[in-house]
Structure 1
């Protein structure tokens, strides 16, 4: 149940009645006063009850989840979306058939989805969330691939004594490369402008 219409002797009484029925609190709802009611003569004659419509606000995470279902169904991909919230980070896991369509080449489609979900979830919410959108463990596999690529390219930079530039990638992937090469005999920096920003490994 997401919406109820309730009445009471006063607007406040009607609101409390609605909150009780929805089993929620005032900060989670939108209240629409349909009729403020009136006390009437001696509080009895001609009195009119106050009427309110109270609607449960859609939770930010639920809104983002609904968006993912919407987009994937428009792409004709049937998925199951599960969400995990840890403090202010939300991970959405997508599972289903034809999941490769949602991942795209080197995760580009998945990254685009993640970017859009990040915008949707923070659009009119009270809290700010960071977001990860994963599809059947792709992110951890990609992390391993990036780590081994980073080590290989660092070796190449050292043996050639030359700078080596990697392919463009989003900020969170560049961070993986920076982290894995911190203890190596190389330095790393990002170069270029989004969406072509890439990492350069320097001996």
Structure 2
């Protein structure tokens, strides 16, 4: 639903959100006296802003443990955009490619879990993750032909990956049901 919300916005509105976010983040960088360049864009019909810098020390402070600071920056920046536009934003903030690296790691973990599910036929639970990460997992699981479901409550909400019932397995079940009926019929009655 949130993606439909963003798709209703024009490219001009999305660019405006990215500009507002960039201004907000530049002011914030000035306050904390960090050097950084701001790159803006629109990807997958969502405004995006990335902070990049040559100094890894400052950048690491903007990422935080497990991306906690990036998440906080994103929430604050979304609020700043909403205050200016009057509309909720699904802006994505990244710091020095952190989200890209996180997506790659998440993709690997998900593919490993899919492989385990396929090998064992048993459901596999992933570690708790935020809604953005869960969406990435759900999309990848669906692409691989399996199914997934989110469980639990924030901040401990997690995804379970299930093997989809194969059509052959369904046919076998139906065949078993017919065999039970067939036992009562003679060959001539069939």
TM over 0.5: yes
Residues 89-134 of structure 1, C-alpha deviation per residue, up to 9 Å, x if partnerless?
3211101122122222332321221122112111241555320111
Counterparts in 2 of 1:75 and 1:158: CA distance versus 1, 3 Å: farther
Please tell me the root mean square deviation across aligned C-alpha atoms, in Å.
Answer: 2.6
Aligned equivalent of 2:46: 89
Distance change >3 Å, CA 82–CA 184, structure 1 → 2: closer
- 1:53-72 equivalences under 5 Å are 61-72=18-29
Partner SS for 2:85: coil
Q: Secondary structure of the equivalent of 1:162? A: coil
Unaligned regions of 5+ residues in structure 1, if any? 1-58
Q: Tell me the number of residue pairs that the alignment of Structure 1 and Structure 2 aligns.
A: 145
Contact 1:88 / 1:128 at 8 angstroms: preserved in 2? no
Higher helix share: 2
- The structure having more radius of gyration, on CA atoms, is 1
Residues in 1 aligned to 2:95 and 2:28: alpha-carbon distance in whole angstroms:
14
TM-score, normalized by length of structure 2? 0.64
* Contact 1:190-1:199 at 8 Å conserved across structures: yes
Query: For the residues of structure 1 that align with 2:32 and 2:159, how far apart are their CA atoms?
Result: 32
Match of 2:89 in 1: 129
Q: Does 1:103 align with 2:63?
A: yes
2:79 alignment partner in structure 1: 119
Q: State the distance in 2 between where 1:126 and 1:87 align.
A: 22
4+ runs deviating over 6 angstroms: none
